[in-house]
Amino acid sequence: MKKTFAALLFAAGLAGTCQSLSAAEAVSPLEDTVRRLLNRLIEQGTLSAAEGEALRQRLAPAAGSPPAPGDVRVPYVPEIVKDEIRGQVRNELRQDVVQDVLTQAKQERWGLPGVIPAWVERIKLKGDLRLRAQGDFYADDNAENVYLDFLEVNDAGGIGNSDDPFLNVSNDRQRLRLRARLAVNAKVNDQVQAGLRLATGAIDDPVSTNQTLGRYGGRYTLALDQAYLRYDGLDDTQYNWITLVGGRMPNPWVSTDLVWDQDLNFEGLAATLRQPLRSGEGLYAEDEINKHLFLTVGVFPLQEVALSSDDKWLLGAQVGGEWLFNNQQSRFTLALAYYDYQNLAGQRNEVNGTLLDFTAPGFLQKGNTLFDIRNDNDPNSNLLALAADYRELNLTALLDLAYFAPSHLWLSLDYVKNIGFDEDRVAARTGAQVEGKTDGYQAMLSVGWPQIAKRGDWRLSFAYKYLERDAVVDAFTDSDFHLGGSDAKGYILGGEYGIGDDTWLSARWLSADAVDGPPLGIDVLQLDVNVRF
């Protein structure tokens, strides 16, 4: 169609040019040019024969009426041509104007200045909600009135001062529970982030964010679960070679729930250094970094004591590597960690003294070897504290295979050994010879989707766990298996299935028995409805 306009305008131009020529010189060439041009357009199908004939009659000068000297002939442009020209100009103008308006609106943020400040774009809000039906089932041969509720005894000031100092080991229990979490992540600048998270759960329980339903007339506790600053250092290739985190932060270690409960957060400072190992040369080495080494160190205060220099600390270091396979989705991670607890063991008071009461732990589950640090000759006045020192070596291997994408296959192996347990030192504290039970391991196999994000996504898992009583600090390990603590062995079956976008069902069966001592078998069934937003 553009060729049509050009040809017609050219013909009109010829007609205008001929105004300075004599009739004998101009009319014949013009008629011949117009005739040839219109014939060509008709042959190409651009104009119909009828349209061509109409244009020929109107554009050609009238026969036998040559222009007088000084006359100017103005060619007639038919309405159909005028409409086409107007339409094309209008369309091209509209596109240019719309593009200019959109560009200006984006640059000037039309409708946003003064209404939505710029910092909103740097804030991300996310959260999740979980409704759980949980059943706790106890074995028929469990030993009654043997397993103490250590927290209850310490809070009451002794076994004789507590109305119920022993754990429930025989009465099955059914509960409805809820977990709600709301997190805010703020991008301060290209390298600094701030994180905040609120969560339900008891304030004095570091390993659970569950709220048991049935508190009519009482509101749920919502506490500050995380509050931290994070710095990510980037090199010239934008590789994240260092990460620094301070505050109350998520778990910085490569780990499973053999050592650390999944709900546990850490308070203090942590740093991770990364070193890429390039597999190619030249530009290829820059573009494809498929393996790297890392070193993570952390310093975490557990209890600050105002009138003593014996503050309780956790010092940790972990070295490892991560390898990406050729498909850039499968990966293998291997990490070796060392966790050193400072001043965690209890100290016995002077006779009738209370100065060393602070050496008793603020939180316990069950399993670790304990002793009474009260020294008042009252059998009913007790304050229980840890008898052993804890320096844990932890080797973790994680394999993620994506060859069956979108399904993945995961295998994790985790081993821990408390090399800080000293039988002589424990005997001096407890007054009895205690055999060191300091090993733990876990193997888990999972298959399914990496994340349950939509309807039809699924995942199945099986794990076996064996954790001796002093292999780890029982306060920080998994709170669901054996209903928390160490000195437990057994298996875990689990499954998840997506029923909608970011909505899924999950089920777990945890079956565990005590490794040593009197019988204590506990099975736990958890049925969950989960949403994420």
- What pLDDT is stored for residue 10 in this prediction? 45
Q: Where are the beta strands (DSSP E) in 261-407?
A: 266-276, 291-303, 312-324, 331-342, 370-372, 384-386, 391-401
Q: Flag whether pLDDT at 4 surpasses 60.
A: no
Q: Flag whether pLDDT at 529 surpasses 90.
A: yes
Give the pLDDT confidence of 324-368 residue by residue, as tens digits.
Answer: 986 668 999 999 999 999 999 999 999 999 999 999 999 999 999
Give the pLDDT confidence of 131-155 residue by residue, as tens digits.
Answer: 999 999 999 999 999 999 999 999 9
Q: Is 391 exposed, middle or buried (0-12, 13-18, 19+ CB in 10 A)?
A: middle
Name every residue whose Cβ is closer than 8 Å to that of residue 483 and which is 6 or more positions away in sequence.
136, 522, 524
How far apart, in whole angstroms, are the C-alpha atoms of residue 156 and residue 141?
29
Once rounded to an integer, what is the mean pLDDT over residues 442-462? Answer: 97
Percent of the chain with pLDDT over 70: 79
3 falls in which pLDDT band (50, 70, 90)?
very low
Give the pLDDT confidence of 36-84 residue by residue, as tens digits.
Answer: 777 777 776 666 777 777 766 666 554 445 555 655 555 555 666 667 6
Letter string b/e over residues 351-372, b meaning 16 or more CB atoms within 10 A of that residue's CB: eeeeebebbbbebbbbbbbbbb
Q: Hey, how many other C-beta atoms are within 10 angstroms of the C-beta on 137?
A: 13
The DSSP bridge partners found for residue 276 are 292
- Output the CATH code of domain 119-532: 2.40.160.10
Give the pLDDT confidence of 201-258 residue by residue, as tens digits.
Answer: 999 999 999 999 998 878 888 999 999 999 999 998 899 999 999 999 999 999 999 9
Helix residue spans in 364-489 (DSSP H): 423-430
- What pLDDT is stored for residue 191 in this prediction? 95
34 falls in which pLDDT band (50, 70, 90)?
low
187 falls in which pLDDT band (50, 70, 90)?
very high
Name every residue whose Cβ is closer than 8 Å to that of residue 478 and which is 6 or more positions away in sequence.
207, 257, 258, 261, 262, 465, 484
- What pLDDT is stored for residue 2 in this prediction? 46
- What pLDDT is stored for residue 516 in this prediction? 93
- What pLDDT is stored for residue 249 in this prediction? 98
Pairing of strands 439-448, 408-418: antiparallel
Written as six digits, the tokens of 371 are: 């002793």
- What pLDDT is stored for residue 16 in this prediction? 45
Q: Flag whether pLDDT at 12 surpasses 70.
A: no
- What pLDDT is stored for residue 73 in this prediction? 55
Look at 111-125, 266-280, 440-454 and tell me which has the smallest mean pLDDT. 111-125
Q: Flag whether pLDDT at 380 surpasses 90.
A: no
**Residue 314, CA distances (Å) to 2, 392, 433 in order:** 79, 11, 27
- What pLDDT is stored for residue 63 in this prediction? 44
Which among 413, 364, 402, 392 has a CA at the least distance from the CA of 256? 413
Look at 282-286, 402-406, 458-462, 472-476 and tell me which has the smallest mean pLDDT. 282-286
Written as six digits, the tokens of 221 are: 């506790």
How far apart, in whole angstroms, are the C-alpha atoms of residue 14 and residue 284?
62
Q: Flag whether pLDDT at 109 surpasses 70.
A: no
The helix or strand, by DSSP H or E, that contains position 35, with its residue range, turns out to be helix 23-44
The pLDDT mean for the chain works out to 86
Once rounded to an integer, what is the mean pLDDT over residues 166-183? Answer: 97
Name every residue whose Cβ is closer than 8 Å to that of residue 366 and which is 6 or more positions away in sequence.
147, 150, 167, 474, 484, 485, 486, 487
SS3 467: strand
Q: Flag whether pLDDT at 287 surpasses 50.
A: no
Q: Flag whether pLDDT at 506 surpasses 90.
A: yes
Q: What is the DSSP string of 334-347?
A: EEEEEEEEES-S--
The helix or strand, by DSSP H or E, that contains position 227, with its residue range, turns out to be strand 222-234
Portions of the chain given CATH number 2.40.160.10: 119-532
